[in-house]
Chain A
């Protein structure tokens, strides 16, 4: 397959809560190639979100090495991490996480604001992306005026705003009913197959996980099993 785009080597994440230490990740090794669709499964509290957040540069490991495109991000400043997040990574969350004061298209355009795109470019791309998730007729609706599935599709469109290489989805269907979840999954799969986006997706649903090329099983902060589909 293609080049390795993300590599985790012996990654530890330790949360200190007063005297108590929580080992959320305990030496995770993981490597993901360009264009891959990887699912992460595991019981609640096993460290899935922690792992994905670290890949997404939202957090840095307590120990170990995370390379994006061959660069170690463990020692980058918050500003540099934000740059990488903005350009290379698109997030999709379980709770959709749209900004409630902004309309669908404004939400989709917001990542482009932080990258300094012109208003014209933002509107053009925003419209294209909403069309991609079949929401062009909901452009000026606020999140509260959209269904869960529609909100998640807006979030998918937003994750694509700056044309990132990697999409990180943390339980994207977790708040949706089965058929709506399937619809959202269809869009994610289309992104992987047609646009060649690398996708890392956390899920509890083995049916959803099976859509991936590969499933990684996490337990107690360690990868205990890998399954190739």
Chain B
């Protein structure tokens, strides 16, 4: 029964192909915009969260360099030291502070050269903590352990051909800063380009290789359970101001709650998405009005046909359903095309982005739910737009409709 109405509706749409296409433009622009932007936005968010989780979200990170002094490690800045780490361990509310070295290093293997982040792993208890914060797991081989000298664990994408290549395996010998290391583990991919291309080595080895006896690049501070992160942050700043002899407002270091950064990012993303949603929304409303207009025209054009159908037993509901289906279908076909365009657009933009960035950091993340949602939504718009014309069609008096001359 219903599929019969569906067939009838489809026949009517096919009969006026050009008009159907034109009517659907508004819908597929809107749906394409929504699909591509939700897809990219989600991908972007995942990518950025992936980067942040490198530092952990329930941590306070301390880095050298004030906001006004440019990026950390730019030479002019007085670096943080092992002593600072000791000091922070004694701050009220701090559970522990871990000093980490993070540098850019040159790695070589099989005639290939790559520049990557090299990160240190602390010894003892703290090793587990850092592994947990970074969320790293070995896909092949193992993670580092105490006493691993001249051994490294590498990120998953180091096996890509634009890094060290797929010949890299457990037991391979690679050069880091000219020194030979044995690869003992390859990490699972984390979707964060920093972790996926990192080389981890134990802190002592790293101090040796990079010739940094006392420096730390960043201090990870974990607060005690229940401690107020903002107060702990202020305590940390107080201590560091004293030891580094700077006044308030002129700090040459930065303490940040990772969670705040995430929130800031989310609100930026939200603003961008909101803007796009508004545009997509306008397009969909215009598309809906287009469908409504087309359906009103169809009702007038087919007045006689409506009269005929009523004369052979179509009830008002039957006529309503027929037109209601037809406009829903118009919306849904527009939606299907829009989804196609949107997916293509998102993938295309992500691809262009990856060429620009030289990493596939931003990926279009188009979920099954997004596609189904877009499909239902476009059907819904079409149907809503069809309600009034369909009501008008269903209420036509049979005699009047039959008298209607084309």
Contacts and interface: CB of A to CB of B under 8 A. Distances in A.
B151 interface: no
Interface string B280-321: 000000000000000000000000110111111111111000
A86 B398 contact: no
Contact of A91 (B1, B312, B317, B318): B312
A221 to B, nearest CB: 16
Contacts of A99: 305, 308-309
A111 B312 contact: yes
Interface string A106-135: 000011011110010000000000000000
B399 A114 contact: no
A185 B307 CA distance: 25
Given A113-B1, A113-B4, A85 B313 contact: yes
Given A113-B4, A116-B1, A59 B313 contact: no
Nearest to A79: B315
A98 B311 CA distance: 11
Contacts of A111: 312-313
Interface centre among A82, A86, A100, A161 (most CB of B within 10 A): A82
Interface centre among A78, A85, A102, A114 (most CB of B within 10 A): A114
B11 interface: yes
A76 interface: no
Given A59-B398, A101-B15, A162 B313 contact: yes
A178 B48 CA distance: 83
A58 B402 contact: yes
B12 A82 contact: no
Given A79-B315, A79-B316, A83-B315, A97 B310 contact: no
- Interface SS of B by simple majority: helix
Interface in B356-406: 397-399, 402
A110 B397 CA distance: 19
Contacts of A114: 309, 312-315, 318
Given A82-B316, A101-B15, A58 B311 contact: yes
Nearest to B304: A97
Contacts, number: 69
A197 interface: no
Interface string B1-34: 1001100100110010000000000000000000
B11 A101 contact: yes
B12 A101 contact: yes
Interface in A58-105: 58-59, 78-79, 82-83, 85-87, 91, 93, 97-102
Contact of A53 (B12, B317, B399): B399
Interface string B315-329: 111100000000000
Contacts of B308: 97-99
B17 to A, nearest CB: 13
A56 interface: yes
B313 A87 contact: yes
Nearest to B11: A101
A82 B402 contact: no
B313 A83 contact: yes
Contacts of A158: 312
A119 B3 CA distance: 10
Given A58-B398, A99-B308, A113-B1, A82 B313 contact: yes
A85 B312 contact: yes
Contacts of B317: 79
B402 A97 contact: yes
A107 B402 CA distance: 17
Nearest to B12: A101
Contacts of A82: 310, 313-316, 318
Contacts of B312: 85-86, 91, 110-111, 114, 158, 161
Contacts of B305: 99-100
Nearest to B311: A91
Interface in B325-342: none
Nearest to B310: A82
Contacts of A93: 311, 402
A85 B4 contact: no
Interface string A40-66: 000000000000010010110000000
A97 B308 CA distance: 6
A75 B307 CA distance: 20
A56 B314 CA distance: 14
Contacts of A79: 315-317
Contacts of A86: 312-314
A110 B309 contact: yes
Contacts of A56: 311
Contacts of A161: 312
Given A82-B316, A114-B312, A161-B312, 19 more contacts: A53-B399, A58-B398, A58-B399, A78-B315, A79-B317, A82-B318, A83-B313, A85-B312, A86-B312, A87-B313, A93-B311, A97-B402, A99-B305, A99-B308, A100-B305, A101-B11, A102-B8, A102-B11, A114-B315
25 contacts: A56-B311, A58-B310, A58-B311, A58-B402, A82-B310, A82-B315, A82-B316, A83-B313, A83-B315, A85-B313, A91-B312, A93-B311, A93-B402, A97-B304, A97-B402, A99-B309, A100-B305, A102-B11, A113-B4, A113-B5, A114-B309, A114-B315, A158-B312, A161-B312, A162-B313
Q: Give the top 9 A-B pairs by smallest Cβ distance, nearest first.
A: A86-B313, A82-B315, A111-B312, A114-B313, A58-B398, A59-B399, A97-B308, A91-B311, A113-B4
